[in-house]
Structure 1
């Protein structure tokens, strides 16, 4: 057989190659179309091998089971959870027939829980299909389950509402049947719709099992329904009518009050009339009791008048006693105020002689003697401070506290005080912060008393603060200056804020032993500010600290003390104002008593 030319073999090979290429292109097109169709599905589709590894998946499945290297850690953890849940789902024993089973996953982007109906089906083995391969379709039923739950909830609510309505209707019927007053419901034509048992006993005893017609009941019905019919013909929404009936069983008079109300339909016409009969038999007894009560009240009024006269006598006696107490208290304050020199002199002598002894004026001392003198000197200084506080309080109460008016640079005073207490704050490990603007107005006030006020607040802040900060801030107000002392100390309970300015008062009386002091500091501060025309307020929270805010006026002189004192003080002259009179300040060596 003659052999075919080589060109024919090449042509045949080209045709077969083109056919294979066309088949490959078609297969690739179909594969791309199939992938596009799978990616277009809203539900995840996955193909897994026998080891539950994902071989193929559509776009929705990749969003649930795959994470990129740049994804946040939280999303990567969610993807790991989904893979674990899906693998566990596939590993569970499968029923003989392919059926949907529930699978719970997590949305990696939002963290919300998703519910799927998963339908796993085995793939037939082939050249391109691994053994034990499975295709799984996950149908998202999250919203469907929510809707189903909502519908079920609404159905249950409707059923419960129906049960409640039925129960309320039965309960209403039961209440009407057992209510003690006669109740009758009639329609717009006057026909009886409902009548409780008590109404039947009064109007229709024959309607009660075992009852019989009664003439008195018939007469009662005639009067009653005549009144109801008259009301129904009118337009009033409700009416009260007096009707006289008779008790069928005892034949006694039964005065009653008929209360009728109209029920209208959607068009405003009368649909029904509800009538309730109120027994007035007890009205007479009530009237008798009212008369008896009036007689008793008259007797009580007489007794009250006598008691009132006795109370007036007692009040007059109490008023006299109060005046005597006030006089004695005033004499006490005046005595203490006048005794300032006598009380300070022996204490100053103690301080002077202990200082001389410690300076070895009277000879050498042993260490124990020197230590004893230090304690005597410290105790004397503390006693002098206590005496000064008590005497200041007595002077203020006796009206004998003079004001020494002079121009005051408040910023300079704050700097002087903070420099003085800074070593004490540093020893306690506290941070002292000062915020004082440069442009503050010059005050006309008593420099010593303002210094006494601010120093007291600073000392208290440091004393009651174990750690943190003590801050001093000032700012200009309209007509004055505000000084604020804040700390991070023990704070003050809300129920104690109103009493911290009382005489001899500390927040916790037991803290006097821990922190020392007489409890007069804040009381004197408030009284001094009252003399200076200023005010103080406090804000505090236990364990968080306290903020004391002082306001000082530009001129610490009341109107009764005149403009002359202000004018002389503004000219730089130190002026003392006492009992409404302005005088030059005594020489520096004079006692300020």
Structure 2
């Protein structure tokens, strides 16, 4: 297979073209000098025909070589290359016939054409070139039969045989080299394809991946790396230690270069903090894998692969979970200890035969602690269901009916404190589309809180239409909330330092549950409060008008 046809844009072929062009420019001068030497009888001139023959052949070679040099299209057109090769062969044959003779060492110049023909056109063209040489020698013998008698035919045959043998060996060596080049070319293509696949895979990873050389210079990275570092500038060529500014859990600087140097195997670090140029800090988990070439037996690193993962959220969740468990344990410990003490004291009172009134008092106090625990467990259960998305499927809710149900449930507690529980509903409220469990829990918590922190006056549950939205509110005339406490009122386990708040039992989870469930419903609970003048909590939902609902149900029935 020809070289040029297979690798038209290959650097190796470009070098071959350069050599052939230079040889083509040099060849006319060599032919002219050799021809003049024959003309002057410095060399055997038995076949020299005339000065015109030498001039014509030399002029033809000069014109052909100049055409090749300045017509760039010659090298991009297979037909032109083949046409040039035919012209060179004809001029070479003419030189052997009319200037030097077939028995002259000049026949060795044909070897250049044999090799070039093999390179550019393959084995078939190579064989045709050899046949043309043999035919030229035969024609020379026919033109000068005396070559048989004076031994020149034998010389010509020897020269042609040697030249064909050498060119054949050169052709086969070239073919072996060409096969190696093709194998290397396929290997490079396969390597490039595998590299592209690997790069595509790395770019598709959510984790930041960085590849460095043995000195820690960044050579490759994926898109997630730029996202993690919050930058668009190129990282190639930077020292990894300059690109990543790290600290440990104690806030002490960590040198990434030192980490790489200390890596004798895979290193995992989850205690790192990345400092961004914007001042933001990101918790990082880093995996460093040293690379060693398989052909090296010594402990020499060829590079490192670093995988970085943002664990800020995970760390925050872990810290929040630990804090939550700690606070819940603390909050549960008190009522459990009080209940245990009351029940132990109750057993002692019974053994001593005290009056039933004292026994009933201890039982009531223990019952209140159990109710407190039940309330906390219920709030925790509600939070758990909200986190897991249990019962969050929306459904059409008749708001008026729901508020009446809550009113009836909370009325006994209001009466027990001599409070007026009011229900202020606008006509034709219609329906809303929401999770019944979540909406009911929000309203229950707001109403029970209002009753708990109102010692006299009233608690009002209200609902009214505001355009295409339905506003629900719970207002009271209770102790109110100070401005400083209003900033923290929706935090879990938060309870005001107001002594009146401390006089009532509470888990500190009620309003946190309200905040959590309201986010699940996509609503925002607003607070208006003034110390010693009461509070009002309100939120709004998109309303489904009664008329529209009735029309929808009628259409479905039809």
TM class by shorter chain equals: 0.3 to 0.5
**Structure in which a larger fraction of residues adopt strand:** 1
**Structure in which a larger fraction of residues adopt helix:** 2
- When normalised by structure 1's length, the TM-score is 0.34
- When normalised by structure 2's length, the TM-score is 0.36
